[in-house]
Structure 1
Amino acid sequence: MSEDRVFPPALAEVARVEFEYGEAGEGVDFEPYAAFDSAEETTDWLCHWTGNHELSGDAFRVFGQDGSGGLAAVWCVRPGRPLTEQPVVFMGSEGERGVVAGDLSGFLWVLADGFGPMEAALYPERTARPNADLAELAARHATTPRRPAREIIAEAQAEFATFDEDMDALCR
């Protein structure tokens, strides 16, 4: 397995967490995977998601989904940087999408504040619901200090402000 397909230990630990969505959807709609989807699965998904069957899924490492089939992925857009320094994005089953965090550390703190990938990308202004267990997980693995999810999300969305346009350009 190539080094850029090795599942980071932090995501392996996140995969053991059971996220509660709640009766009224007040929780986190996230089902983390125990490994990245294969390159073939990722390419197949991206081709169908965009309608462009000439694409490769090489820029994405899918590591979880929401209940409707929207996917959380590491977006390999920073050349030469390790997976842990790449942004995390959400791509919904109906074309919704957004940047979740600028790197894996930020993503861990977003989870600790009670936001899943879908909630962070689509509802960043929702009320934070800190989770002590996820905060402990983030403290063990993050290489950045804890910050509020809203701050992490806003910073990442500003840094990757063309994400929507970049994805639109892939669509047919």
Structure 2
Amino acid sequence: MIETTGFDRTFPAALAAVARAEFDYDDGEGVDFEPYDAFDSAEETTDWLRNWTGNHELDGDAFRVFGQDGTGGLAALWCVRPGRPLVEQPVVFLGSEGERGVVAANLSDFLWVLADGLGPLEVVEFEQYEGRVDPGLTELAERHAATPRRSTHDIVTAARTEFPNFSQEIDALCR
């Protein structure tokens, strides 16, 4: 069952820094990620989740949407750790064609994924995490991350081990 941490919508400083960063799509060879400079509103998130799942009884309280890919797939903090701050919630991706997955166990680890030159879509869509290290995003992660640098493979493996039922929980919401 998806639980929420309340109604906190304060945009973390690390995400504000990500929103100011440049992402090089490089004609499909780079990172397909467009960060927002604020979370989607509760109303927008609820509307999106209802449309994505076909379940009009849901609200979007369990998600804080902070970016998208070029097709409209969304990156969000999944508020599944009750009582913990937003920066300690896992980062997930829900694609426009039903793709979904846990990207990182927390915002700090997500910063290291970005530093490796990978975005949420690339982590969910591909098994090989071969990005191009981005010096600007590496510096951003060094300033904002509270976790040590690890490889994207290790970050994703740990997150998916901790949250193995994410996809099934999303399936259970769908109608």
TM over 0.5, yes or no? yes
Report whether the alignment pairs 1:20 with 2:24.
yes
Residue identity in the other structure for 1:57: G
**Cα distance in 2 for residues equivalent to 1:79 and 1:167:** 18
- Name the counterpart of 1:92: 95
Contact 2:65 2:75 in 1 (8 A): yes
- Please point out which of 56, 59, 62 is paired with 2:59: 56
- Name the counterpart of 2:111: 108
Report whether the alignment pairs 1:166 with 2:161.
no
SS of the residue corresponding to residue 100 of structure 1 reads strand
- Please point out which of 7, 10, 13 is paired with 1:9: 13
**Cα distance in 2 for residues equivalent to 1:105 and 1:120:** 16
Report whether the alignment pairs 1:78 with 2:81.
yes
SS of the residue corresponding to residue 14 of structure 1 reads helix
Distance change >3 Å, CA 52–CA 68, structure 1 → 2: same
Report whether the alignment pairs 1:148 with 2:147.
no
Contact 2:7 2:61 in 1 (8 A): no
- Name the counterpart of 2:123: 120
Computed over aligned residues only, the root mean square deviation of the Cα atoms, in angstroms, reads 1.1
More relative contact order, 1 or 2 (CA 8 Å, 6+ apart): 2
- In structure 2, runs of 5+ residues without a counterpart are 1-5
Percent sequence identity is 69
SS of the residue corresponding to residue 66 of structure 2 reads strand
Deviation at 1:3, TM superposition (A): 6.9
**Cα distance in 1 for residues equivalent to 2:113 and 2:14:** 13
TM-score (norm 2): 0.94
- Name the counterpart of 1:47: 50
- Name the counterpart of 2:160: 157
Task: Report the count of equivalent residues.
Answer: 170
- In structure 1, runs of 5+ residues without a counterpart are none
List structure 1 runs of 4+ shifted beyond 4 angstroms.
none
Deviation at 1:126, TM superposition (A): 3.2
SS of the residue corresponding to residue 20 of structure 2 reads coil
SS of the residue corresponding to residue 121 of structure 1 reads helix
